[in-house]
């Protein structure tokens, strides 16, 4: 695959992954007002596919970003921003593993063994669960922003550097990035 294709794949997967955490953050103010029954009903039904689809987006964005780090390692400016992106995207996943996943495991276990106590457990654990998603959102947003910046640093800095004669509108200087 070409460098342009890898950049596209990394950007697309990181953007899609960011949408998952963004949804959690946008829902947060309303959900924190729900009583135990409503919160439990929403959280045990609404996010069923977030785990499947979100995992593909998040793991895919991390892998694509780390591959992109390797590809651009000789392009100093792009490398630094791409490395920052990979680190922040990886950090977001590690935060999810440390903060959110244990809550999900506790809820899943309680659903199997004592389903009637799930609403009370959600009420007890929801601040941690919601905070974990908020932390993940911030880390993913910074990671995505760094990834976008890494792509932008590979472009002409001004319109004077832009040459439409080059087919894809890149000049010699921007090809080094």
- What are the extents of the domains in the chain? 3-155
The pLDDT value given to residue 166: 47
- What percent of the chain clears pLDDT 70, i.e. is strictly above it? 87
The pTM assigned to this predicted structure is 0.85
Is 158 exposed, middle or buried, given 0-12, 13-18 or 19+ CB atoms closer than 10 A?
exposed
The pLDDT value given to residue 102: 98
Tell me the CA end-to-end span of the chain in Å, nearest whole number.
Answer: 16
To the nearest 10°, report the CA torsion of 133, 146, 54, 108. Answer: -30
Q: What angle do CA 40, 140, 43 make, to 5 degrees?
A: 5
Is 42 exposed, middle or buried, given 0-12, 13-18 or 19+ CB atoms closer than 10 A?
middle
The pLDDT value given to residue 48: 83
The pLDDT value given to residue 47: 87
The pLDDT value given to residue 165: 55
Side-chain half-sphere of 6: how many Cα atoms within 13 Å?
16
The pLDDT value given to residue 151: 92
Contact criterion met (CB below 8 Å) for 147 and 14: yes
Instruction: Give the confidence band of 42 by pLDDT, cuts at 50, 70, 90.
Output: very high
Flag whether pLDDT at 75 surpasses 50: yes
Q: In terms of Cα–Cα distance, which of 36, 31, 65, 75 is closest to 173?
A: 75
Predicted confidence (pLDDT) per residue in 97-131, tens digit: 999 999 999 999 999 999 999 999 999 999 999 99
Angstrom distance (rounded) from CA 151 to CA 157: 12
The pLDDT value given to residue 127: 97
Predicted confidence (pLDDT) per residue in 147-174, tens digit: 999 999 876 555 455 455 544 444 455 4
């Amino acid at each position: 695959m070409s460098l342009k294709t890898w950049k596209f794949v990394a950007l697309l997967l990181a953007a899609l992954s960011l949408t998952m955490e963004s949804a959690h953050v946008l829902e947060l103010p309303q959900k924190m007002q729900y009583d135990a029954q409503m919160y439990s009903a929403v959280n045990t039904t609404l996010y069923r596919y977030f785990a499947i689809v979100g995992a593909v987006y998040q793991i895919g964005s991390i892998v694509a970003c780390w591959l992109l780090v390797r590809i651009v390692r000789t392009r100093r400016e792009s490398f630094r921003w791409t490395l920052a992106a990979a680190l922040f995207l990886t950090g977001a996943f590690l935060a999810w593993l440390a903060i959110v996943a244990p809550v999900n495991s506790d809820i899943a276990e309680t659903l199997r063994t004592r389903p009637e106590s799930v609403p009370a457990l959600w009420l007890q654990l929801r601040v941690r669960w919601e905070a974990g998603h908020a932390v993940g959102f911030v880390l993913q947003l910074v990671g995505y922003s760094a990834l976008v910046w890494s792509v932008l640093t590979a472009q002409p800095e001004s319109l004077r550097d832009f040459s439409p004669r080059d087919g894809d509108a890149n000049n010699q200087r921007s090809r080094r990035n």
